[in-house]
Structure 1
Amino acid sequence: MAKNPPVGDGHRKGAVRDRSQTYNPKTQDWTKRDAGTGRFMDRKADDKPFKGVRKEK
């Protein structure tokens, strides 16, 4: 993960590398995926997308 001081201010400089996210309309949430392996990593609890992670089409 990128380190962007100061910690806890809620922003990052640049995108998270080797990650992508896609919206699942069936469960209505955003899922993060590792671009190298293609495995799903994490799911958002709220309806907002992950910050700094590119979106798949």
Structure 2
Amino acid sequence: MATNPPAGDGHRKGAVRKRSQTQTASGHWVKRDTKTGRFLDVKSDGKKFKGVRTEK
């Protein structure tokens, strides 16, 4: 399981499992559940999610 350690050193410990991300036409990144295909979360700042696999 992925965790964000309290040290604050700017990286995630472990990978986020069963999630992927893709970019929308407007440039926002969307997190998706790989099992169901449902969209879970959208980032509004235009940056990628940390530790989440990118879809091709």
Q: TM-score range by the shorter chain?
A: 0.7 to 0.9
CA deviation after TM superposition for structure 1 residue 13, in Å: 1.6
Partner of 1:29: 28
Q: 5 Å matches for 1:1-57?
A: 2-6=2-6, 9=8, 10-24=10-24, 26-57=25-56
CA distance in 1, matches of 2:2, 2:26: 29
Runs of 4+ in 1 over 6 A off after TM superposition: none
Quote the offset at 1:6 in angstroms.
2.2
Residue identity in the other structure for 1:55 = T
SS at match of 2:30: strand
**Structure 1 residues not aligned, in runs of 5+:** none
Q: In the TM superposition, what is the alpha-carbon distance from 1:4 to its structure 2 partner?
A: 4.3
TM-score (norm 1): 0.81
* Alignment RMSD (CA, Å): 1.6
- Residues of 1 paired with 2:4 and 2:54: CA distance? 21
**Identity fraction in percent:** 65
Structure 2: runs of 5 or more not aligned: none
